[in-house]
Structure 1
Amino acid sequence: MDIIILLLITLSIYLLPQNKEYLNVKSTSGLRGFLAIGIIFHHLSQWVTSGDEFSNFSYMGTYIVSIFFFLSAYGLYFQNENKKNYLDNFLVKRLSKILVPFFSISLIYMFYRFLNGQLMDLDFFANLFKKGSTIIYNGWFVDIIILMYIFFYVSFKFFKISLFLLLSIQYS
């Protein structure tokens, strides 16, 4: 089943219109969409333990997320290089698109936990920071996106040498 899914994805990519600017916003948005579907399959593979439908996707999550982050960082870098004043209100625009939905879902999830009798006292929230976990299962992704936006902004706003690129290379 994995082979069929990968062949369909490959065929879909092959049928996309080709252009000389292969890493432009239009092309990378489509690829990031395919990667998002790959992540969904990765998460399904962790729950579907019988059969071969999603077995190979259980090993692909790290690679898919790495490619997704690379494409996102490349897009930020490209826009910063080609648009004047790109960093004006950068953090407000980017973080508001992430934090508003994240806090909304977190409140809903905390309410759900409360209804199920889970204790959420000060120790609960302190342990989130101590253990590096999040309120939402697999919410680490939001934390990483926020940190990447902050690193990107600081490195391109205040440093001539791109600290963002150096950190990206170091931690990739």
Structure 2
Amino acid sequence: MQQAIYSVYVILPILLLWGAKFTGFKKFNDEFLSIKQTKAFQGFLAVCIMLHHIAQKTCASWIYPPSRIVHGLDIFVDMGFLLVSVFLFFNGYGVYKSFHAKDNYLKGYFKKRILPVVLALYTTTFIFFIARLLVGEKMNGEQIRLYLTSIQLCNPNTWYVIVLPFFYLFFYISFRFIKKDGLAVAATCALVIAYMLYGTTVDHNDYWIRGEWWYNCVILFPVGIVFAKFEKKIIPHVQKFYWFYLILFLAAYYPIRIGVNNVANMFGYYGEGWIPQNIVVMNRRITLAAQSVLCTWFVMCWLLLGMKVKIGNAFIKFMGTITLEFYLIHGLYVELFGWQFDGGVPSPHHIKYVIVYVLVVFALGVPSAILLQNIHHVILGKKKLRDIFKVPTMKKEAQIETKKKDKSA
């Protein structure tokens, strides 16, 4: 039964490529950076991130005792920062394109870009707080304050939605007060890099910037902005030499990943490397630079494939509509059905078979994400309270897309 978990390596390509269309050898997918395509791709990545979190509970090398380790999802254990790097690229790309496509885009910017992310952070924080109480975690007044403010993560997967509003704020400050586009782009890049460099000065802790995953992939936010600014030059050039770039990036990805892993083993982030650790911040920055290259390379591989393959079946389109909420809420079930809840309290029910664990987390995560999104929409004024239990379906999403096409025809 435990061997059934390997079926995910067959299921995942099917989920991504079902209904996909190859454009042909001489044509390109002009929609590979459209909202429709990027949302569908993010929907697929959300499932991969779920597998990453489950892998860390089932087959990570740090699980103790080792007898608890069940192999199968090993490839996903250290994939988290690479998967999130794709989201950050699209965040940066999307905010820059929106700024130039919409009049007075910065008016109401906080409500449109920042508030939804902050709201998602604190609603899931509250849900996790209640769950922690129910599973029996003991808290004093100080711990309650730290959890409810998210200064200490009540939901262990929220680092991304904590740092993203700051990056959006960096963009706002740069483009609000700097009128020259190139300088505004440079300022945003500088602010994100400053955050990364600051991160390398912080030791492991229980609060914000807990570890390298808080900053080792965030370079993709400014990379997305730079790509958006120069895409009219970048894309024609890449298309002209497409097959060269595709073969180069795909062939070099694995050697680069091995090389970056070796750099991390040599220098490390927190004294784990074998290089002398008396220059620990410098060692962290060397490791960070290497992993930033790897993240960029990983994203470019996917973009190159997207230029030739048009994806978008009903499933990943649907998942693309609930990506943020699913990203934040599925971890509740990862914790409830693992060996122990984050923080050390035993989980109320351990699911022995990993494939069943995956299916249960997904089956509960999707409706929870839908409900959570509806609650967010009511709070933000996008939906009325009486409509909160109207569940979007994959069929309904397809009908909406058809109506949009009919109107544009």
**TM tier, shorter chain?**
0.7 to 0.9
**Distance across 1 between alignment mates of 2:38 and 2:32:** 8
Q: Please name the residue that 2:189 is paired with.
A: 165
Alpha-carbon shift at residue 44 of structure 1 (Å): 1.3
Q: Please name the residue that 2:39 is paired with.
A: 29
Deviations 1:11-60 (A, max 9, x none): 348448874132121111111111111111111111222132x1101121
Unaligned runs of 5+ in 2: 1-5, 60-69, 197-218, 220-409
Aligned equivalent of 2:158, options 131, 139, 155? 139
Letter in 2 for 1:79: S
**Is residue 32–residue 71 contact of structure 1 (8 Å, CA) maintained in 2?**
no
Q: Please name the residue that 2:142 is paired with.
A: 122
TM-score under structure 1 normalisation? Answer: 0.80
Unaligned runs of 5+ in 1: none
Q: Please name the residue that 1:82 is paired with.
A: 101
Distance 1:169 1:31, change over 3 A: farther
Q: Please name the residue that 1:4 is paired with.
A: 10
Higher Rg: 2
Aligned equivalent of 1:38, options 45, 48, 61? 48
Letter in 2 for 1:164: T
* Residue range with higher mean Cα deviation, 157-166 or 42-51: 157-166
Q: Please name the residue that 1:51 is paired with.
A: 71
Secondary structure of the 1:59 match is coil
Distance 1:47 1:15, change over 3 A: farther
Letter in 1 for 2:58: V
Q: Please name the residue that 1:67 is paired with.
A: 86
Alpha-carbon shift at residue 88 of structure 1 (Å): 0.8
Distance 1:120 1:95, change over 3 A: farther
Instruction: Tell me which stretches of 4 or more aligned residues in structure 1 moved more than 3 Å.
Output: 12-19, 111-115, 122-129, 165-171
**Distance across 1 between alignment mates of 2:19 and 2:165:** 30
**Distance across 2 between alignment mates of 1:152 and 1:44:** 33
Deviations 1:53-111 (A, max 9, x none): x1101121111111111112101111111211111111122222122332233233334
Higher relative contact order (CA closer than 8 Å, sequence separation 6+): 2
Alpha-carbon shift at residue 113 of structure 1 (Å): 3.5
**Distance across 2 between alignment mates of 1:13 and 1:164:** 38
Q: Higher helix fraction: Structure 1 or Structure 2?
A: 1
Distance 1:65 1:27, change over 3 A: same
**Is residue 128–residue 154 contact of structure 2 (8 Å, CA) maintained in 1?**
yes
**Distance across 2 between alignment mates of 1:100 and 1:120:** 25
**Distance across 1 between alignment mates of 2:143 and 2:128:** 17
Q: How many residues align?
A: 170
Letter in 2 for 1:90: Y
**Distance across 1 between alignment mates of 2:142 and 2:104:** 42
Letter in 2 for 1:134: L
Distance 1:137 1:123, change over 3 A: closer
**Distance across 2 between alignment mates of 1:126 and 1:10:** 39
Distance 1:120 1:98, change over 3 A: farther
Alpha-carbon shift at residue 135 of structure 1 (Å): 2.5
Aligned equivalent of 1:101, options 110, 117, 120? 120
* Residue range with higher mean Cα deviation, 87-96 or 6-15: 6-15
**Is residue 114–residue 120 contact of structure 1 (8 Å, CA) maintained in 2?**
no
**Distance across 1 between alignment mates of 2:43 and 2:19:** 11
Letter in 2 for 1:36: A
